Amino acid sequence: MGAFEHLKAKNTTDIKSNHLYGSGMATAKFITFEGIDGAGKSTHLSFVADLLRERKKAVIVTREPGGTTLGESLRAILLHEKMHLETEALLMFAARREHIAQVIAPALERGEWVISDRFTDATFAYQGGGRKLDLQKLAVLEQWVHPHLQPDLTLLFDVPLDVARARLDATRTLDKFEQEKADFFAATRAEYLRRAAEFPQRFRIIDSTQAIATIQEQLRGIIAGLDR
């Protein structure tokens, strides 16, 4: 973890808009939540949405895979059915194409902030890191599906695997991904951290072993820095 220490900075002074939507008016931002299952993404989604609403922003909260009627149908298939690894990656991007067209781009155009529980970093982490699909193939799909859109801020909730596993075991019935073995999540987590190091300008790593209240204070600082 020491190698990623520099990404834990609380200020966001160098974050600029990473998309072309809504330019001209006060530009809304696109925030994504990432991390392995059980890391704490869902726990903090509504907190961040509320922080932005306190700051008088219009906000929508959405998720991947999903976020549209078609996307939620694909989600049910993706989370519960076995399929070829490349089919899985293609369906993820198919759902994402619809999500951008129907939800993300129109919201940003209207000046609404978008918070998504997972986005393309998750496909790199799970299908690339976890399942070992060639990252170059994923980069081709990314370039095809959203050449001009990247999150303005990606919050990476990072926890050791045993912590995430203990949290999941305590709370829910596991889907296809959540049932994967420790080495799958180790590779998934490693790919998330590799991407955070590759794109330090938009990533902030949250040490998710901290207490929820501590994380909330950190998120408050990050959001204040983003909305200035």
188 binds ligand ADP (CB under 6 A): no
Of the candidate residues 1, 58, 182, 212, the single one contacting ligand ADP (CB under 6 A): 212
Residues in the chain: 228
Cα angle, residue 126 at apex, residues 195 and 173 outer, rounded to 5° = 130
| Least CB distance to Mg ion at residue 163 (A) | 15
| Least CB distance to ligand ADP at residue 29 (A) | 21
Scanning the structure block, which residue is given the tokens 């912590």? 163
Decide whether 19 or 204 has the Cβ nearer to ligand ADP. Answer: 204
41 binds ligand ADP (CB under 6 A): yes
Q: Is 9 exposed, middle or buried (0-12, 13-18, 19+ CB in 10 A)?
A: middle
Distance CA 55, CA 112 (A): 13
Q: What is the 3-state secondary structure (H, E, C) of 154-213?
A: EEEEECCHHHHHHHHHHHCCCCCCCCCCHHHHHHHHHHHHHHHHHCCCCEEEEECCCCHH
Taking CB atoms, the residue at the shortest distance from Mg ion is 42
Of the candidate residues 1, 20, 23, 42, the single one contacting Mg ion (CB under 5 A): 42
Of the candidate residues 18, 27, 43, 102, the single one contacting ligand ADP (CB under 6 A): 43
Q: Is the peptide bond before 160 cis (omega within 30 degrees of 0)?
A: no
Q: From Mg ion, ligand ADP, none, which one binds at residue 29 (CB under 5 to 8 Å depending on kind)?
A: none
Site string for ligand ADP, 149-178 (x = CB under 6 A): --------x---------x---x-------
39 binds ligand ADP (CB under 6 A): yes
Q: Return residues touching ligand ADP (CB under 6 A).
A: 35, 37-43, 157, 167, 171, 208, 210-212, 215
